[in-house]
Structure 1
Amino acid sequence: MSNPVTVHLRYEIDADKIEEFREYGQRWIRLVNRLGGTHHGYFLPSEGDSDEAFALFTFPSLADYEQYRLAAVDDPECVDAYRFAVETKCIRRYERRFLSPLFA
């Protein structure tokens, strides 16, 4: 039995481009779900730091996540979503962590 893997992303975003980041996130929620994952959402600034956002999504296994990464390289919608972030400069940097989820 393979273990699910949850990817935790921490973004440093441009606070003046929150709407662009929101669009970026909406695109990736749909794309991750289409490519075999379960997206748990993006979490945008509300109170506190105005330049920090998070995302969480889960794949059934690390191998499934790696397949998603390979598929995303050639997927036109994924390429376009990445290009959108680069062109708008809504993301300054990001960190990726892999977690072992515990679900009820």
Structure 2
Amino acid sequence: MQAALECLEGRWKLVILSQLFAGEVMRFSDLQRAIPLVSQKMLIQQLRQLEQDGILTRKVYAQVPPKVEYGLTDLGWSLRPVFVALLDWAELRRKMLEPGPSVPAE
């Protein structure tokens, strides 16, 4: 469990994955726009870690200005059911913690 969580720990990794699950590939600039609160340095760091862990691929095109695209590997796509289950759990948690209608005292 610890090894799995180490691959996903970090404030932005799940947010990055959620963006990549929505499409085939994304350019670096698209990821920056989609996640406006993350700094460029932190985004680069998180993307590199995900790449090192075999979760995503990075493709650099030799052009000016440089074009870099990120996409999920088969290993990355295999996380999708886990991600969906986590979203389902978050929704269940929200509903359970939501204050219900107050019952008048007798």
TM-score by length of 1: 0.32
- Determine which structure has greater relative contact order: mean sequence separation of CA pairs < 8 Å that are 6+ residues apart, divided by chain length: 1
Higher helix share: 2
TM-score by length of 2: 0.31
